[in-house]
Structure 1
Amino acid sequence: MGHTATPERQDNAHAPPPADAVDPVALARLYGEPLFALPQDLYIPPDALEVFLEAFEGPLDLLLYLIRKQNFNILDIPMVSVTRQYLAYVDEIRSRNLELAAEYLLMAAMLIEIKSRMLLPTVHHAGEAEAEDPRAELVRRLLEYEQIKLAAQQLGHLPQYGRDFVRAQIAIEQSLAPRFPDLDVAELQAAWRDIFKRARLVQHHRITREELSVREYMGQVLKALQGRRFVPFEELFPTGRGTPVLVVTFVALLELAKESLIEITQAEAFAPIYLRLAYTPA
């Protein structure tokens, strides 16, 4: 006895399979749903979809592709087969891009000329050298182009800055010598006044006449600075020697600074003042 399908089974038979099922009959999937037939209102312009299997950089690139693809001997090019395939490609691109086809048409004319010259009989005269193969110039250009193309591919495989690697950059602040801020004259005067005030606290009230030499105290200051990197400003003024000695010592410091024999430095504002030699003693 035959079995008759119920209406429920008939509906299930025509229903599309679930979204997660793999149905080889479906044309495509739209948002995860299988599409079993093309929509009637779907419009696709003729030039909306284009597939380029090979991209050529010029006529020589196309010729080289046709020769290498079919394992032709580049020194003995079958012009009939290569010219036919080349013209077919030119006809295809001419219908789509006339400006791009102009460059290829020039090479097509050259191929037709070579083909025509090969069909003509060669006449040899006595004493003349053998006629050159009409394909010789084309072969030379193809070989040179292939060498340049292979060299460009090898260079393209090399690591390039910005594509395959980047250069690490670290900002390092370097200074060959410490740079001290400029000394203000007012701060030097204030330091001198402090020295003068402390000298008055320990001075002796004795009236004497003493001849003091600025040059002599200049030598004493230089001797005190030798072998030392920095000397505090106050240390160069001896205590208990009286005001004249302090004045002459200060004048000696100014003379040495004027002659660029010593440097008076200060690390920062309101910091202690230091002195050092401006030269390296022998």
Structure 2
Amino acid sequence: MYNIKIESFEGPFDLLFHLIEKNEIDIKDIPIASVFDQYMEYLKAMQEMDLDIATEFILMAATLLEIKSSMLLPKQNFEGQQMVMADADPREELVEKLIEYKKYKSVANRLKELNTLGTKFFRDEPEIKYVDKSLCLNYSTIDLKKAYMKILQKSSNNVMPIRYAKDQITIDDKIKEILKKLIVTPVIKFGDFLKNLRKIEKIVSFVALLELIKLNKVAAEQKKTFGDIIIKSLKR
């Protein structure tokens, strides 16, 4: 268990970048397994503190798991014999995005420094010698309030909610659901379990499945690429 200190992260890349800097990791050679474990510890700590977790944090967890699986599982040729991993590094796309994020973060920090520096200097306010009355708009405070509320209403209608509450969907909930299904049927198809679920629920369910595999509570088998995942209970 890691000693977790919950901080305010702007997004999953902010958290991921924090872990890379904290562990002094070469951004071009990320130990995915280690970083993923720490990343999940942060998400679990957020859940335990009843903090809402944005959808993109879960998506990043699924991405890390996919990369981790790709690096751990051996590739097979048509005869079923183990072969050397392909030249393509499954971390490549993530590394490119992290490098871009690093550049963005560097620029953002520099702008923040310049803004702070600017507050140390003062200039006299420009003297307004003449005001063209024809440019003055004849609006009362009530009119302005109505216009402001209209803008707020329009904005709220256009914004898609991206956060979900802890009591709506959690990894623990999906773990319990999978185990409950396995009590009735010792072997289930993951595709059947995912039927009629929202995209975010499918992602959380996938994370829950991998957590169960890690805890040796279930075994999973995929007979062919892109085939359905067969889940088998290991409970004796």
What's the TM-score bracket when you normalise by the shorter of the two chains?
Answer: 0.3 to 0.5
**If the length of structure 1 is used for normalisation, what is the TM-score?**
0.38
Name which structure has the greater RCO, CA cutoff 8 Å, separation 6+.
Answer: 2
Q: Which has the larger radius of gyration?
A: 1
**If the length of structure 2 is used for normalisation, what is the TM-score?**
0.44
